[in-house]
Amino acid sequence: MTELSALSTENRRFDPPPELAANANVTADAYDHASKDRLAWWEVQASRLQWDRGWDRVLEWQRPYAKWFVGGELNASVNCLDRHVDAGLGDRVAFHWVGEPAGDRRDISYAELLAEVSRCANALTELGVGRGDRVCIYLPMIPEAAVAMLACARVGAAHSVVFGGFSAQALIDRITDADAKLVITSDGGYRRGAPSALKPAVDEAVLQCPSVEHVLVVRRTGQDVTWTDKDLWWSDVVDRQPATHQAQSFDAENPLFLLYTSGTTGKPKGILHTTGGYLTQVAWTHWAVFDLKPETDVYWCTADIGWVTGHSYAVYGPLANAATSVMYEGTPDAGGKDRWWSIIEEFKVSILYTAPTAIRTFMKWGDDLPGAHDLSSLRVLGSVGEPINPEAWIWYRDVIGGGRCPIVDTWWQTETGAMMISPLPGVTSCKPGSAMGPLPGIAVDVVNDAGESRKAGFLTLNEPWPSMLRGIWGDEDRYRETYWSRFEGRYFAGDGAKWDDDEVLWLLGRVDDVMNVSGHRISTTEVESALVSHPSVAEAAVVGANDATTGQAIVAFVTVKGSVADDVSSGEAFAKELRDHVAKEIGPIAKPRQILITPELPKTRSGKIMRRLLRDVAEHRELGDVTTLADPTVVNAINEKMGQQTAAPPA
């Protein structure tokens, strides 16, 4: 295999704001301390938590299995709730919850959240759920979702949260693999102004899942539901429970949750995370990377709890740090395309953590929507989910952050559990579009096929880290094969990366998305970034398609900004302009063979672009499964338009 080509360059730098740097939670000394004694450094971070029994050893490492803080005992729910209430913070708001329907909201204090979690923990005990059991949670973004997660942690049961947009078959696969004893769901949630049913999918799944003894149902929308002898209303079982619960301590390696990711074999992988190391790293990274001041900040992670970002940085990290957070149920355009900016203005959000796909969507909608709101409360902006294009980074900083907010572009995965690569907002002079480098205590390397360090290639992790996955549930061989077999002694993340001449690290996306054009292995991320840097382009998705001459050819799908849509929505002249722009930005080898202008890109309900479906379109194959798309009609329209267009040579 040829080396991965590193084509694009970026020389712009943005220093930390002086006032933030002067008062930052973490300084540059952290890198020195961590490099001198990595394990001692992680011990210090673990000491930020409340342990009921101290650990005997920091790390027990028998590759590829790690145990952190061996012998230590704690309770994740106590660390997120009880200790803050005991410290006199019971009146502090834990969540400003905003429902999708206008005016539907609740402010929940730490004391109130503790009482609700205690009631739920008592209900779980009554239903026979305890240490060693698994509970499937299938809920919209409502407070009961966080309550259910924390209650499971409180009684020692592992939760398996399933995103509310997934199908009955996805539920069946996850419930069966985890052998879940209880399902917690709701009648439905709200989606773009209308109730969206959830319970029918659970009903269908439970018929094929004999391990499920009970289904606990939250009444959210009031829509009619089918009832079975396993079903129980949350209000009937939870609300009558005592508001206090004596939590017990669990071993640091007690399973905290399973979170399933899609597998190439079709069977989802149950990523296992345990308690002590995971909570240590998510709490520290949340405090350090966002420079959190819990007494004054209002923090908003826009991720759904069905994804690991929602676990780590909407629930466990913020609550472990006694933060005040916003939790929002709906879509970005529910009630108007300025809904997010209204929420930020109303609650004076100071830290915003969201995905590049959302940022590019807002770019497409125009500057006037955020411009109509007072966003001056913002002081730190975060990005997560995939590499962010430099021009989207600049727009985020200038339009949303008013040119004053540092951006922390973070790289991590479901498997890593917590942030691994990110700037520190009071320390790092950032290049737009780069996650910059590993955080203190994290060791990374970029290697070629032979595992030799290179400037561009495969991103690997060389040393164990506290929040790392502890395996794939029930499948040790798959764990070893998936993550540890590619490079001896290294965890392979599945992503490409490069170091630039300034020793700044750039993430290049999944290596599965790398295109082989005339012997050059080109990252889709670099070509997409070049396209988005054109002033008329809001978003781009690039795929490789079979080509008789070059092996693969680059096919680009582009959406344009609303202000120029009518001018460029058709015509080969604009496509040629974009090809020439890519050639100028990163080189002629990266010029797309074909460019299709489309009003939308196919995305999942979590905002991920479905490049797999775009590859089907580019190669004129029958479309794969579209059930997870937010709007399945989008890809059908693109497919039809592609059939009408003749591929143009990239001359």
Q: How many domains does the chain have?
A: 2
| 3-class secondary-structure state, position 318 | helix
**Better pLDDT: 65 or 602:** 65
Q: Are 468 and 538 part of one and the same domain?
A: no
Task: Answer yes or no: do 477 and 625 share one domain.
Answer: no
Q: Would you say residue 632 lies in a domain?
A: yes
Antiparallel, parallel or unpaired: β 491-499 and 456-461 = antiparallel
- Domain assignment present for residue 5? The answer is no
Q: Name the domain boundary from 497, 523, 540.
A: 497
Say yes or no to pLDDT of 471 above 60: yes
Using the predicted structure, report yes or no on whether residue 192 has a pLDDT greater than 90: no
Count Cβ atoms within 10 A of the Cβ of residue 543 and give its class: 0-12 exposed, 13-18 middle, 19 or more buried: buried
Owner of token pair 């409180």:
154
Plot region of 132 (φ>0 → left; ψ -120 to 50 → alpha; else → beta): left
pLDDT at 648 over 50: no
Question: Is there a domain that residue 90 lies in?
Answer: yes
Q: Are residues 390 and 518 in the same domain?
A: no
Per-residue pLDDT of 589-625, as tens digits, reads 888 999 999 888 888 766 778 888 888 888 888 776 6
Q: Do 522 and 484 reside in the same domain of the chain? A: no
In percent, the amount of the chain with pLDDT more than 70 equals 93
Taking the chain, what is the end-to-end CA distance rounded to the nearest angstrom? 27
Q: Is the pLDDT confidence value at 186 over 70?
A: yes
Q: Where are the beta strands (DSSP E) in 252-293?
A: 255-261, 269-274
What pLDDT sits at residue 608? Answer: 76
**Mean pLDDT lowest for which of 95-99, 282-286, 624-628?**
624-628
- Please tell me the predicted confidence (pLDDT) of residue 609: 82
Tell me, what's the pLDDT at 62?
94
Q: Tell me, yes or no, whether 469 and 520 share the same domain.
A: no
Residues 526 and 469 in one domain: no
Candidates 175, 165, 93; CA nearest to 134 is: 175
Burial 312-334 (b: 16+ CB within 10 A, else e): bbbbbbbbbbbbbbbbbbbbbbb
- pTM over cut 0.85: yes
Q: Supply the mean pLDDT for the chain.
A: 91
Task: Tell me if 459 is assigned to some domain.
Answer: yes
Mark which of 497, 524, 546 sits at the end of a domain. 497
91: exposed, middle or buried (Cβ count in 10 Å: 0-12, 13-18, 19+): exposed
Residues 420 and 463 in one domain: yes
Q: Which two tokens stand for residue 643?
A: 């059939």
pLDDT in tens, 135-158: 999 999 999 999 999 999 999 999
* Residue 649: predicted pLDDT: 47
Structure confidence at residue 411 as a pLDDT band (50, 70, 90): very high
CATH of the domain at 612: 3.30.300.30
Whole-angstrom distance, CA of residue 609 vs CA of residue 634: 12
The pLDDT value given to residue 636: 82
Residue 428, pLDDT above cutoff 70: yes
pLDDT value at residue 650: 46
Residue 11 lies in a domain: no
Q: Is residue 563 part of a domain?
A: yes
**Same domain for 208 and 100:** yes
pLDDT of residue 493: 84
Statement to judge: residues 289 and 149 lie in one domain = yes
How large a percentage of the chain has pLDDT more than 90? Answer: 71
CA distances from 601 to 292, 333, 631 (A): 34, 16, 10
pLDDT (mean) for 69-74:
98
Cβ–Cβ < 8 Å for 325, 310: no
Looking at the structure, do residues 437 and 523 belong to the same domain, yes or no?
no
**C-alpha 57: how far from its chain's center?**
31
C-alpha torsion 372→374→376→377, nearest 10: -140
How far is Cα 401 from Cα 384, in angstroms, rounded to an integer? 16
Closest C-alpha among 304, 273, 513 to residue 416: 273
* Type of residue numbered 236: D
Give kind and range of the element (H or E) at residue 356. helix 356-365
Alpha helices in 127-198 (DSSP H): 143-155, 168-178
278 shares a domain with 403: yes
Q: Which residue has the higher pLDDT, 300 or 522?
A: 300
Mean pLDDT of 384-399: 92
Do the domain assignments include residue 7? no
pLDDT average, residue stretch 519-535? 82
Place of tokens 């992680």: 42
Task: Provide the pairing of β-strand 194-197 with 188-191.
Answer: antiparallel
Q: Report the length, in residues, of the chain.
A: 651
Gap between the Cα atoms of 503 and 31, Å rounded: 15
CATH code, 105: 3.40.50.12780
Residue 2 covered by a domain: no
Provide the residue range defining the domain that includes 529.
Answer: 514-644
Both 493 and 519 in one domain: the answer is no
Distance of CA 357 to the CA centre of its chain: 12
- Which of 469, 497, 525 is the last residue before a domain boundary? 497
Nearest CA to 611 out of 619, 603, 621 is that of: 603
Q: Do residues 327 and 266 make contact, with C-beta atoms less than 8 angstroms apart?
A: no
